[in-house]
Structure 1
Amino acid sequence: MTAPLDVTGTAAEAQPEAVLQGVGAKAIQGRSLGQIAWTRLKRDKVAIAGAVIVVLLVLVAALAERPFGGLIALFGDDPNVPNQDAIDPLTSAPLAPWGGISLEHPLGLEPVNGRDIFARILSGAQISLLVAFLATLLSVIIGTLMGVLAGYFGGWIDTIISRLMDMFLAFPLLLFAIAIVGAMPDRAFGLSGNGLRIGVIVFIIGFFSWPYIARIVRGQTLSLKEREFVDAARSLGATNGHIIFKEVLPNLVAPILVYSTLLIPTNILFEAALSFLGVGVAEPQASWGGMLTRAVDYYQSAPHFMIIPGLAIFITVMAFNLLGDGLRDALDPRNR
């Protein structure tokens, strides 16, 4: 019989000190879901470019007028006051060549009234982003509430809310908005003029758009309420309110955030469409859709008058869509 090999004290023996040596040199650090998502998002250069454009648009809109800094005062005249001295009375075109483009007016002047296009683009950004953000916030609040209630409780609550979704989705929203805004009085609810119009547009868009996000939230809630952590919380005696606010809603932040970034450009286009049809923001207040309406009559003599607000809408919508796509990929737990 062969004697057992004695490896005591040799390299073949795994000493505890040798195993633990160097463990404290570089401790393994865990990463939160937010850190993982941010790491993924940073690798998506297209999404980062969209985020940069979105941030710049928000800053430009916030700093456009004098109470917030006055970019309009630095780059141009009052966007809502005509400047007839800069217009040829015979041709209704700007007296300066190239549509009035100069250092003082970097994007030129509008035909007929001579208002600065750059200043009106800045002012229009305020209207578009204000309406889009407020309408999206309203629809997200209502849609999240309805979707969570329908998905978590089910039964007759789910049936009623689901039928409400079907009714709202079948509603002719654009025609309803045109009818309501067009027949609106000059003063109501303590508001008047464009303040009243903006308030009504925000309410119409937000109140009738909630079913889109409610369907997404309902589907996610149906899946989450069957997960192990919800069963664990329920077995510990947690109430339905605690489970909804502490367990379900935190796991809905990612899809709500992604869909919100995709809903904002839709609302921007809706507001521009209403202004283009003449039932949105009224003149002389600048809006991108209203600028396109006036540009239709001058697309041959002053094509820049149509191209510039069109590009503003295109770039804004594209930036939000790129950011939304990037957030969707970054927040998807199935991505590696």
Structure 2
Amino acid sequence: MTTPPIATTAPAPGEPGTTGAASAPGRIEGRSLGRIAWTRFKRDKAAMTGGVVVILLVLLAVLAKPIEAVFGLDPNVPHSDLLDPNLGGLPLGSFGGMSLDHPLGIDPLQGRDLLARLIEGSWVSLLVAFGATVLSNTLGTVLGVVAGYYGGWVDTVISRVMDTFLAFPLLLFAISISATLQGGAFGLHGLPLHIAVLIFVIGFFNWPYMGRIVRGQTLSLREREFVFAARSLGARGPLILFKELLPNLVGPILVYSTLLIPTNILFEAALSFLGVGIQAPQASWGGMMNDAITYYQVDTSYLVIPGLAIFLTVLAFNLLGDGLRDALDPRSN
């Protein structure tokens, strides 16, 4: 008994199995890791909102001086004619003296425009926060990856240094250093000195947090196949650290940076609020809250406006950081 031959027909153009131009629309297009992460990030509406707010805040900080010049805003010009001497110097009118000329009102100390001071304080807070984040991330990344890769006594020494820094009462230490260097140091005076001191204090004493994260990731990555392959090809420690390990640590570093920036903003605001950060007459969000303490029981707007600016900034960075973590995590859906 013979089996009849099975008739085979070639698939029509456009059907599965065809090749050539006719099947081009049905091909599966390869996507890079960056494109996959961006697709995940776009699906997170909260993270997208946080990212847009962060971009607007950065633009506001960068363009603060041009905006003040275009709209004629001066954060230090007093408007004493708008203060009522019969009420202890409080602004005339309601809601802190809000008007078309002063949309957010004026402060009760000298009658300075709150909107102008809010814009002026934005670049100070973000400059300190970004500068401190860069400093702490640089130190933490370098020492963390070295400790995680080499291990042994190198890891022990660096880990004990981290523990020592983490044991410092950071707020009290920052207050003492900032208060000591208020007059002048390292050839700097005034606002440049205050900004440099804040960046150094916040960044230098916060690097162990990044160092621990990078060390933990490095301990896992150093056992991966691509590290063994690099060693087998003759690559030495420095080359493996900067060519193999660091590119794979960009994701965790980027995510933690977006979560560290708002922490640094809060730290700068706390120091300025306590009087050891940015000094008058330079506007800062923490300094504005300090100025409002005397009058918040009479009108809460003086305290709410800078507090709301800090709250929205911190919330936006946190939403952005959470979204980046979900987008860059290959195990997320």
- TM-score, length-normalised on structure 1? 0.93
Partner of 2:5: 6
Instruction: State whether structure 2 residue 80 is matched by structure 1 residue 84.
Output: yes
Distance 1:161 1:18 in 2: 59
Residue type matched to 1:112 in 2? L
Distance, in Å, in 1 between the alignment partners of 2:82 and 2:186 is: 40
Deviation (angstroms), 1:75: 4.3
Distance 1:87 1:30, change over 3 A: same
Is residue 178 of structure 2 the alignment partner of residue 181 of structure 1?
Answer: yes
Is contact 1:143-1:210 (8 Å) kept? Answer: yes
Q: Supply the distance in 1 between the matched residues of 2:138 and 2:243 (Cα, whole angstroms).
A: 17
CA 110–235 in structure 1, closer or farther in 2 if over 3 Å, else same: same
1:302 paired with 2:299, answer yes
Alignment of 1:57-72 (within 5 A): 57-65=57-65, 69=66, 71-72=67-68
RMSD: 1.8
Please say if residues 95 and 301 of structure 2, whose CA atoms lie closer than 8 Å, have aligned partners that are also in contact: no
Give the count of matched residue pairs. 328
Deviation at 1:31, TM superposition (A): 1.0
Q: Which residue of 2 aligns with 1:28?
A: 28
1:321 corresponds, among 297, 303, 318, to 318
- Aligned partners of 1:41 and 1:330 also within 8 Å: yes
111-120 vs 292-301, which moves further: 292-301
Question: 1:164-215: CA deviations, max 9, x gaps?
Answer: 0000011111101111111225222121012111101100111110000110
1:112-155 Cα distance to aligned partner (Å, 9 max, x none):
30000000000111111000000000000000000000000111
Is the 1:276–1:292 Cα contact (8 Å) retained in structure 2? yes
Which stretch of the first structure deviates more once superposed, 94-103 or 149-158? Answer: 94-103
Task: Structure 1 unaligned segments of length 5 or more: list them.
Answer: none
The question of whether the paired residues in 2 share the 8 Å contact of 1:124 and 1:286 is answered with yes
Checking the alignment, whether the CA contact within 8 Å between 1:109 and 1:115 is kept in structure 2 is yes
User: 2:109–2:291: 8 Å Cα contact kept in structure 1?
Assistant: no
Correspondences of 1:236-255 after superposition (within 5 Å): 236-255=233-252
Q: TM-score, normalised by structure 2?
A: 0.94
Shift of 1:72: 2.1
Q: What is the CA-CA distance between 1:103 and the residue it aligns to?
A: 1.3
How far, CA to CA, are the matches of 1:104 and 1:168 in structure 2? 49
Q: Given the superposition, is the C-alpha separation of residues 12 and 95 from structure 1 closer, same or farther in structure 2, using an over 3 Å criterion?
A: closer
Q: 1:12 to 1:201 in 2, by over 3 A?
A: closer
Unaligned residue ranges in structure 2 (runs of 5+): none
Counterparts of 1:311 and 1:241, CA distance in 2: 46
